[in-house]
A and B are shown apart, each in its own frame.
Chain A
Amino acid sequence: MKMSKRNVLGIVAFSILTVFLVFSMLMLHFGNIHPFGNPQENDMDSYIISNAQEETGANNAVTSVVFDYRGFDTLGEATILFTAVAGVVLLFRRLKK
């Protein structure tokens, strides 16, 4: 594929513009991020730490979040894996005679 000079110039200009936009947005909101190592007090954190063992019965609070409090999210994750496997098997089935 041959690219004309105008196309290359356009692509370069578009990339520079995108980088500039992303960088300026990042700089604009950089001051609002909390300092590293000092997370703010969060109601959700303390709720899960104090109630996860009693409500889900699991000593591992991370698993209790992944499979119980945010079970619907894990369902989406499992669907992604299922779709990936189905796609790969479908794609490579054509190579077999």
Chain B
Amino acid sequence: MKNSEGMSKIVKTAASTIFVFTLIYGLYVIAHGHLTPGGGFQGGAVVASGLVMLIVVFGSSWTMKKIKEENLSILESFGAIGFIGLGFLGLLFTGIFFKNFIVGHNMFFGMIPDFGSTIANINTGGVLPLMNFAVGLKVIAGLFAIVLVMAHATSSYSKEAGKK
């Protein structure tokens, strides 16, 4: 934490503590998308807001140095490919696009819960948890890339304007 830009040392210390819990909570919402309210989009938004807090606290050029926006684009494309690939795997195995092809097998998220309100079992849902992960990755990288690129562009623009 030697960089001079960003907020004061107190804010930086508090934010780096809070950031971990935000990350854990967002990943929890993504991972339990097929059991509890929430899912890929919502959990991804939680994680992305935690990352945006880093931009606010540490400054955009510091964040840009740590995480390039090209890497975020690659991550987002991986999420999109995973999501579409799962849809096409359904087409491959059962002949129906976006068919849940894993459910019914007793392994790899394939179990079926009893009817009604039952105790949540993480090993259910078939293709849904995998799709939640793909969409979550996509939303994290996408939202963070949008905010990072905009913040970096505006800050570098104002810096150049201040020089002149």
Contact = CB atoms under 8 A, between A and B. Distances in A.
Contacts of B156: 95-96
Interface residues of A, number: 31
Contacts of A57: 34, 100, 103-104, 109-113, 124-126, 128
B87 A63 contact: no
Contacts of B35: 58-60
B113 A67 contact: no
Contact of A75 (B98, B125, B153): B98
Interface in A47-91: 50, 53-60, 62-64, 66-68, 71-72, 74-75, 77-78, 81-82, 84-85, 88-89
Contacts, number: 120
A58 B146 contact: no
7 contacts: A53-B116, A56-B126, A68-B126, A68-B127, A72-B98, A89-B149, A92-B153
Interface of B: 33-37, 39, 41, 69, 73, 76, 80, 83-84, 87, 97-98, 100, 103-104, 109-118, 120, 124-128, 131-132, 135, 138-139, 141-142, 145-146, 149-150, 152-153, 156-157
